[in-house]
């Protein structure tokens, strides 16, 4: 973006900062002691003059300053070099102030002191290095002022486009973070979900009414048998509702074995295999999330913990009953389970699904109106649903919690990378 300048007596108020751009405008113009590009982000084409230290040159007549951010082995800090007629100027002869206005209205102010051949900013330039900049420099009796925009990790998406893409946002705040253990398992039928249908008395089978795979209801007629001792026929009905899983006889045979096996798949449980180090932390009643290999997911609680260990694997059997009224869970399916063995309330957290990688940081994207901007995070405890935030976002700051990868992709596509 263009730089504006003016010269006037020192001591007047700062000029107003440029309004935030409605379009993504590229990388941070400051340089640092190191340079890298993360996540395939493109460095935007420079639209300003660089100085001998690869910083942004700000000119006013024959006076100029070169603004850099230095972070080679230190926290990011401003280093500003002064020139007159393009020759280095003793920093002791220059007074400098800088003000950064960030997305959302926060203002960071910096004063400068001479050091070696440059002016050193007092304070850390916190990530992201994305702001509207106002600079005031005094050399002799003349004041010079500049304003410009320097954005990184920022993009604009209309509310209509964000809604169509499923981009959701919410405010950061307190949350309960569950500590979980992840374990493998398998879906099994509950004992009461399986019934063997046997003849009451030995005899010849006169009628068989059901085939394998057919649904039955409790009380449905399954077979008629003519008893060998009395030659009287009697009926066999379904003891439970379910599906015919086995048919072991036919008309004309003598009934001496189970005629059918009925299974009720609405009565299933997840059989989880826990190693001793995990089993010691698992207790009946703890929340458990069961996930299939597809998209199936169920919330349950630990129902039973078996008293014995498997001799071969030394694992402990942990069981959780699952509501399977919709028939999504089939006996024999392999599953993964996450058991919440502990929980802790934290003062500030974000949705784990909202986290993304940006350069060398784990980030979320703050939302202010239709503008989105990266927020570098220092994280604490991480759970499947929530992750504790120690630094990087403020309480009640709105961030992207759903489909945040779309924001990252838009920023990377536009080349809004950081120039270091």
The confidence score (pLDDT) of residue 417 equals 53
The whole-number average pLDDT for the span 201-223 is 96
The pLDDT tens digits for 144-171 are: 999 999 999 999 999 999 999 999 999 9
Task: Please name the residue that has the structure tokens 């401003």.
Answer: 78
Report the share of the chain in percent with pLDDT over 70.
88
Q: Strand 87-88 vs strand 94-101: parallel, antiparallel, or unpaired? A: unpaired
The confidence score (pLDDT) of residue 47 equals 81
Contacts of 200 (CB under 8 A, 6+ apart): 225, 234, 236
Task: State the Cα–Cα distance between residues 221 and 414, nearest whole angstrom.
Answer: 69
Report the share of the chain in percent with pLDDT over 90.
78
Residues 86-92: contacts with CB within 8 Å, 24+ apart?
88/117, 89/63, 89/139, 90/114, 91/115, 91/116, 91/117, 91/118, 91/119
* Residue 25 and residue 128 share a domain: yes
How far CA 90 is from CA of 22, 63, 82, 83, 84, in Å, comes to 39, 12, 7, 8, 10
* Residue 185 and residue 324 share a domain: yes
- Structural domain including 117 reads 4-152
The pLDDT tens digits for 243-302 are: 999 999 999 999 888 999 999 999 899 999 999 888 889 999 999 999 998 888 999 999
The confidence score (pLDDT) of residue 414 equals 72
The confidence score (pLDDT) of residue 294 equals 82
Lowest-confidence region among 31-45, 201-215, 325-339: 31-45
* Selection from 359, 277, 286, 345 nearest residue 316 by Cα: 277
The pLDDT tens digits for 40-54 are: 333 334 588 999 999
* Residue 124 and residue 34 share a domain: yes
The whole-number average pLDDT for the span 107-130 is 96
| Average pLDDT score, the chain | 87
Pick 417 or 370 by higher pLDDT.
Answer: 370
* Residue 374 and residue 350 share a domain: yes
The pLDDT tens digits for 314-355 are: 999 999 999 998 889 999 999 999 999 988 999 999 999 999
The confidence score (pLDDT) of residue 356 equals 97
Lowest-confidence region among 23-37, 231-245, 279-293: 23-37
Task: State the Cα–Cα distance between residues 150 and 164, nearest whole angstrom.
Answer: 29
Does residue 21 have a pLDDT over 60? no
Per the structure, the count of domains in the chain is 4
The confidence score (pLDDT) of residue 46 equals 56
* Selection from 245, 16, 51 nearest residue 134 by Cα: 16
The confidence score (pLDDT) of residue 61 equals 94
* Residue 334 and residue 185 share a domain: yes
* Residue 135 and residue 8 share a domain: yes
User: What number of helices (H) and strands (E) belong to the chain?
Assistant: 3, 33
Does residue 65 have a pLDDT over 50? yes
- Residue 231: CB atoms within 10 A of its CB come to 9
* Residue 163 and residue 144 share a domain: no
The confidence score (pLDDT) of residue 3 equals 54
Q: Strand 131-139 vs strand 94-101: parallel, antiparallel, or unpaired? A: antiparallel
* DSSP at 272: E
* Residue 203 and residue 124 share a domain: no
CB 248 within 8 A of CB 255: no
Determine, yes or no, domain membership for 419: no
The confidence score (pLDDT) of residue 11 equals 35
**pTM higher than 0.85, yes or no?**
no
CB 36 within 8 A of CB 416: no
Residue ranges of alpha helices (H) inside 166-312 are 276-279
Does residue 18 have a pLDDT over 70? no
Does residue 59 have a pLDDT over 90? yes
Structure token pair of residue 56: 């942004």
Q: What is the CATH number of the domain that holds 72?
A: 2.60.40.3340
* Residue 71 and residue 28 share a domain: yes
Contacts of 409 (CB under 8 A, 6+ apart): none
The confidence score (pLDDT) of residue 127 equals 92
The confidence score (pLDDT) of residue 419 equals 53
Task: State the Cα–Cα distance between residues 248 and 129, nearest whole angstrom.
Answer: 74
């Amino acid at each position: 973006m263009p730089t504006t300048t003016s010269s006037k007596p020192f001591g007047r108020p700062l000029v107003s900062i440029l309004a935030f751009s409605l379009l993504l405008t590229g990388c941070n113009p400051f340089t640092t002691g190191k340079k890298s590009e993360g996540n395939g982000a493109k460095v935007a084409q420079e639209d300003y003059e660089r100085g001998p230290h690869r910083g942004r040159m700000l000119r006013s007549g024959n006076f100029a300053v070169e603004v850099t951010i230095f972070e080679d082995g230190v926290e990011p800090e401003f280093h500003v070099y002064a020139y007159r007629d393009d020759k280095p100027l003793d920093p002791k002869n220059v007074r400098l102030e800088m003000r950064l206005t960030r997305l959302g209205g926060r203002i960071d102010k910096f004063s400068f002191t001479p050091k070696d051949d440059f002016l050193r900013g007092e304070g850390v330039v916190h990530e992201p290095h994305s702001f509207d900049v106002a600079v005031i420099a005094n050399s002799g009796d003349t004041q010079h002022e500049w304003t410009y925009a320097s954005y990184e990790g920022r993009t604009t998406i209309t509310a209509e486009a964000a809604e169509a893409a499923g981009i959701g946002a919410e405010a950061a705040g307190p949350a309960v973070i569950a500590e979980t253990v992840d374990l493998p398992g398998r879906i099994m039928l509950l004992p009461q979900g399986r019934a063997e249908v046997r003849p009451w008395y030995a005899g010849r089978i006169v009628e068989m009414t059901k085939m394998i795979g057919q649904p039955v209801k409790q009380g449905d007629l399954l077979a008629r048998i003519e008893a060998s001792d009395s030659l009287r026929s009697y009926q066999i009905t379904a003891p439970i509702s379910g599906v015919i899983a086995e048919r072991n006889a036919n008309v004309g045979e003598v009934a001496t074995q189970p005629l059918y096996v009925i299974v009720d798949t609405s009565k299933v449980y997840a059989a989880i295999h826990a190693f001793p180090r995990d089993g010691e932390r698992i207790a009946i009643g703890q929340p458990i999330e069961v996930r299939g290999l597809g998209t199936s997911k169920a919330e349950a609680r630990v129902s039973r913990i078996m008293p014995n260990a498997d001799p071969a694997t030394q694992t402990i059997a942990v069981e959780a009953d699952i509501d399977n009224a919709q028939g999504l869970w089939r006996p024999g399916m392999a599953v993964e389970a996450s058991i919440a063995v502990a929980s802790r309330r934290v003062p500030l957290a974000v949705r784990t699904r909202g986290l993304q990688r940006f350069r060398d940081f784990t980030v979320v994207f703050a939302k202010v109106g239709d503008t989105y901007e990266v927020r570098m995070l220092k994280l604490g405890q991480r759970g499947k649903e929530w992750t504790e935030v120690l630094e990087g976002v403020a309480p009640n700051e709105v961030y992207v919690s759903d489909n945040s990868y779309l924001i990252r992709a838009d920023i990377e596509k536009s080349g809004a990378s950081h120039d270091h």
